Structure 1
Amino acid sequence: MPKIDLDAIEPALGCSYPAPYDQPLARRTARDVGAAGGLTDFVAIHVVLPPGCWSSQRHWHEGEDELVAVLSGEAVLIDDHGRRPMKAGDVATFPKNDGNGHYLINESDRDCILIGVSLPERSLVHYPDIDLLWSPETGETHVDGTPY
């Protein structure tokens, strides 16, 4: 497969979280480079976080490992172990079902570009700081299972 042309992939702006949980991600752009290249075994997403933007709400997956690599700029990884700066070339991994909620926030004054890799979501995703649970059967619900 030839080199992926990022400009040829329509970026998705923001996220699908219900309000008000979508606000910290409103300016985030994501491009599914894996799908654009014909990949089907795993997901690879190219993400741009403008200053002040979050990668996601703090979350963890029951059944999917995740890997995030910072390509340029910098962000702060926030998880159950605290805050750690990440810069271009840094990689973070999140084993499935470890219960360690995580996300990145761009606290710098320039864009942070990263790539995230995982399996397609097929299990519960937990959001420990907010009233949100994602399931492959129901999508986003309140933690008690009632729909948004």
Structure 2
Amino acid sequence: MPKIEITTAPTRFGSGYPQPFDQQCAGRRRWALGDAAGLSQFGVNLLRLPPYQWSSQRHWHSAEDEFVYVLEGEVVLYTDAGAQVMKAGDCAGFPAGLADGHHLQNRSDCEAVILEVGARNPKNDSAAYPDIDLMLGNRSDGYRHKDGTAY
């Protein structure tokens, strides 16, 4: 059936980042709606971001486009250009290969709900984290220090 039952969609709660980088994202909750629909060319996540939590560490992807749409609440988008408040109905896109680290922070007392859309190009993609000692090359290799050593 094409209709997705969100409560049965695959979930990813918390963070897969190594310590101590996992703490700011420990409360995030993602439902992989694209996986539930059997999509293979792009991913769609429903992100519930509790107060004072982050969507991710600030990062950018070498080969994957990303798009976010705020459904409920308010978040702050941080990029190299600074901070921008985003409210319900606001959206932003991040082209693959643009070296501009980005992430969302919920700086409010209310949960924010965000729709995330991204390409699925794990074999050719890497992620850079400009603010911290973290990088992600081939996803099967996992997170590494910027000098290449594994966590």
With normalisation by structure 2, the TM-score equals 0.94
Percent of aligned pairs sharing the same letter: 45
Partner of residue 127, structure 1: 129
SS of 2:45 mapped into structure 1: strand
1:40-119 to 2 correspondence within 5 Å? 40-119=40-119
Partner of residue 146, structure 1: 149
**2: distance between equivalents of 1:66 and 1:8?**
24
How far has the Cα of 1:115 moved from its partner?
1.1
**2: distance between equivalents of 1:142 and 1:98?**
21
**What number of residue pairs does the alignment pair up?**
148
SS of 2:34 mapped into structure 1: helix
With normalisation by structure 1, the TM-score equals 0.96
Partner of residue 37, structure 1: 37
Name the Cα RMSD after superposition. Answer: 1.1
SS of 1:34 mapped into structure 2: helix
Q: Which runs of 5+ in 1 are unaligned?
A: none
1:94-126, Cα deviation, whole Å (9 max, x unpaired):
011110000000011111010111112331100
Give the 4+ runs in structure 1 shifted more than 4 A. Answer: none
SS of 1:146 mapped into structure 2: coil
**2: distance between equivalents of 1:128 and 1:114?**
23
Q: Which runs of 5+ in 2 are unaligned?
A: none
**2: distance between equivalents of 1:43 and 1:145?**
28
Contact 2:10 / 2:33 at 8 angstroms: preserved in 1?
no
